[in-house]
A = this chain, B = another copy of it.
Amino acid sequence: MYISETILEVRYYETDLMGIVHHSNYIRYFECGRSDALANLGLPIHEIEKLGIMMPVVSVTCDYKLPAKLGDKLRIVSTVNELPKARMIIDTVIYNQEGNTVCAGSVTLGFIHVNNRRPTRAPSFIIDIFAKYYKEND
């Protein structure tokens, strides 16, 4: 299991006329969280793309529990429970500064070649880095 944390402050333009963060922005926070998760492993996304691999989003789910507001400092916790193979699944929970859950969801990424946009399995340079976080029988 690999876990990574990111702290983000709510930006004004991310709020809507309900006075809270617009629900679509949490999907973007999820992306910020997993970008950090990969960068913390030495795999920033722009470097992955230079190595010829893009990771498009295959599916997203998000359950909204408590609205985030301007002034909130959010903690995004990204967890990769299984070694990526054909897909990488990142479960993400966002907490506010009081420790309450703002929302929780899951994002599935695929792998494609940059040049021909054809799907592929997780490349070895990704698997190798993730492997140490998982038991052999995972």
Residues on A facing B (Cβ under 8 Å): 11-13, 15-20, 22-25, 27-28, 31-32, 35, 44-47, 49, 54, 56-64, 67, 69-71, 105
- Please give the distance in Å from A50's CB to the nearest CB on chain B: 10
Majority-rule SS of A interface residues: mixed
A68 to chain B: closest CB distance in Å? 12
Pick the residue among B23, B27, B57, B71 that contacts A44 (CB under 8 A): B71
Residue of B nearest to A50 (CB): B71
CB pair A31 B13 closer than 8 Å: yes
B32 and A23 contacting across the interface, CB-CB below 8 Å: no
Asked if A11 meets B23 with Cβ closer than 8 Å, knowing A45-B70, A63-B58, the reply is no
* Contact between A17 and B56, CB atoms less than 8 A apart: no
Given contacts A16-B13, A17-B16, contact A64 B59 (CB under 8 A): yes
